Amino acid sequence: MTNKQALGYMLLPCKDLKLDKDQADKLWDAMFQNMDEFTEEEAQEKGHEWLNSH
């Protein structure tokens, strides 16, 4: 899967959750930055770690 495909998957729930364009743009930017910063494995680990800690 490419980054743009993953970002497309991210935008679909934004639409479903009725996020406004500004919120979706912020999420897009943050996700793109994290894609550059972390490997897929790191993202999976750190993301699930965060979710399970709340």
Q: What is the mean pLDDT of residues 17-28?
A: 96
pLDDT for position 29: 96
In this structure, is the dihedral angle defined by the CA atoms of residues 3, 1, 54 and 38, taken in order, positive or negative?
negative
pLDDT for position 23: 97
Q: Are 38 and 3 in contact (CB under 8 A)?
A: no
What does the alpha-carbon distance between residue 40 and residue 5 come to, in Å, rounded to a whole number?
14
Q: How confident is the model at residue 52 (pLDDT cuts 50, 70, 90)?
A: very high
- Other beta carbons within 10 angstroms of residue 43's beta carbon come to 15
Residue 54 has pLDDT above 90, yes or no: no
pLDDT for position 21: 96
Q: How confident is the model at residue 49 (pLDDT cuts 50, 70, 90)?
A: very high
What does the alpha-carbon distance between residue 6 and residue 32 come to, in Å, rounded to a whole number?
10
What does the alpha-carbon distance between residue 23 and residue 28 come to, in Å, rounded to a whole number?
9
